Structure 1
């Protein structure tokens, strides 16, 4: 009897212990999430928010996609990688300290520079998401807008201006898109202005996210595809023309033309330079202006795409400023730094 009672007691004790396991597990998960999320700044919340939103859209419109499960798993992996980099960067020394182990500098470097790879991933992924909601193309509306605005089809009209030297200049101008954020970010990073650095990344993230979502809801091919065969010949130039052709060969996305992500990214960087390094703004300005024109000349965008990119990039800047200001207020009220590194 006593043995039976003892066994019963032990069995009950085990059951009670087992019953408490889910609660403990939940607490551990909550603590782990809190620890990781505490390493995230405004940029990360924008990036993770976009991944969450696009994942919801993928789940809702899965029947329009070839491999929705693959897309969802890829986005989950990217989100996990962002959190891992943030957590690893938080545990290492300050990137602006001159000392520190190689591993610390390695993680701190990627903690600050991974946004560029994130933007590239999102843009390339749009090639699989452009028909998420609408199976057709909306280029006819953009062409009609260009005709209403200019009286001609600008991408076809500009062919009579084509000369090898002008084409080379335009391709160079188009290429400059890739360096604006790198140059501005590099200046801020090496001058140890971490708040300005993450502000600029946040401006860019918001501007890009607007563009990504619009591209999913309003798919456009670009003149390169829609007007193919209507030009009398290919554009010819020099080394920059060949370089852009190589980049487009391996990185061109069929769709996601409206709004122009090139223009949106350049505008966000331009506004960031105006805000944080005014001297760099005046250097960027003529190049950005030429780049906007070049997107039409090289047959990659409509004028409507350029105007759309200018709007989304500018929205990214102004909303980003408000967000960063709010982050500083919340951080000061909590007695903690507003921008995580």
Structure 2
């Protein structure tokens, strides 16, 4: 099996589907940077990053043609998926210039549920034996994607490129929403307006507050453990006051679960506990409002159907045999 991934294969000319959609997103956001140039804090650095990403993409194509095998194809796809960690905080560089909308979502939450579920959830279940599994679930987000990616690569290589397109294109759909719908989520908004306002159901508009403040304060005051520390450390590094609505954690993990069950019931069943914990954790750790998670779940089915249809229409023939 290990040697098989280095076995020479027929060269697939041109860009992979996942590279095409990544370059399209690269181009569209580059145009947006140029359009917003006077307001951007470091536009030329961002444009330089995009040029470098495009250059790396074409360099990998060249290397693949020198040594065409499953492994070099995997590297091309893995790099595009790895770049999602760059594109995510990048959405903040755009939506920070739009008025924040958290007051609208927090008010809707209060109206629908009569409280703030993100506050009540952790408040009534502050125990370590509750918080640790939820934080484990939240931390499992990227490992779940990696596990499914490796399964497709080793067991269903013929569908690997299609699967990567579905996942990456789905991410980009949500990233576009995050750019134009600036919602930071409870973990940023509630500290900004103060606990007293939250307790009294008062959710003022804070306008462009997050254009100048993007500090992430410690999470809810429940008992901290190992997985809490892992989640907190990862958020301190990569989290920004962006991407709360809808919850991409719930949406993308739902899409990953759909694709897992498509090829292996055992794989999907193995991931179910992590998936359920992850969905609950998005509200428990106050990363999202409950309505973010609900919309993330239902929108995932729509996005999954649309991106699959896009692939089948544009790339009908399987790239890998």
Bin the TM-score by the shorter chain.
0.7 to 0.9
The match for 2:32 among 48, 53, 57 is 57
CA deviation profile, 1:297-333 (whole Å, cap 9, x unmatched): 011111122133224433332122213322453x4xx
Q: Does 1:270 align with 2:257?
A: yes
171-180 or 282-291, larger mean C-alpha shift: 282-291
Residues 233-266 of structure 1 deviation map (CA, whole Å, 9 limit, x = unaligned)? 6232321111111111212122222222222221
Residue 93 of structure 1: SS of its match in structure 2? Answer: coil
C-alpha displacement of 1:73 = 1.8
Is the partner of 2:91 in helix, strand or coil?
helix
For residue 110 of structure 2, the aligned residue among 147, 158, 166 is 147
Structure 1 residue aligned with 2:288, among 301, 307, 310? 301
User: Larger % of helix: which?
Assistant: 1
1:339 maps to 2:319: yes
Gaps of 5+ in 1: 1-36, 96-104, 332-337
Is residue 138–residue 220 contact of structure 1 (8 Å, CA) maintained in 2?
A: yes
CA distance in 2, matches of 1:149, 1:290: 23
Counterparts in 2 of 1:315 and 1:87: CA distance versus 1, 3 Å: farther
**How much has 1:227 moved relative to structure 2?**
0.8
Deviation string, structure 1 residues 184-222 (Cα, Å, up to 9, x no partner): 11111122x223212221121222111111111111111
Task: Could you list the structure 1 runs, at least 4 aligned residues long, displaced by more than 6 angstroms after superposition.
Answer: none
Equivalent position of 2:89 in the other structure: 124
- Which residue of structure 2 aligns with residue 227 of structure 1? 190
Task: Check the 8 A contact 2:17/2:315 in 1, yes or no.
Answer: no
Contact 1:211 1:261 in 2 (8 A): yes
SS at match of 1:299: coil
Q: Which has the higher contact order (CA 8 A, sep 6+)?
A: 2
Counterpart CA distance in 1 for 2:270 and 2:25 is: 32
Alignment of 1:179-194 (within 5 A): 179-191=143-155, 193-194=156-157
Contact 1:189/1:197 (8 A) holds in 2:
yes
TM-score normalised according to structure 2 size: 0.81
Unaligned runs of 5+ in 2: 1-11, 200-219
Contact 2:92–2:241 (CA under 8 A) maintained in structure 1: yes
CA RMSD of aligned residues (A): 2.4
Q: Given that residues 199 and 320 in structure 1 are in contact (C-alpha distance below 8 angstroms), is that contact kept between their aligned partners in structure 2?
A: no
Q: CA offsets, 1:35-77, max 9 Å, x none? A: xx94212211211111111111111122221111221121121
Identify if the C-alpha distance between structure 1 residues 149 and 85 changes in structure 2 by more than 3 Å, giving closer, same or farther: farther
Structure 1 residue 213 corresponds to structure 2 residue 181:
no
1:72-112 C-alpha deviation (Å, 9 max, x unpaired): 121121122122223322331322xxxxxxxxx5x444223
Alpha-carbon distance in 1 for matches of 2:307, 2:66 = 27
Tell me the CA shift for residue 146 of structure 1: 1.8
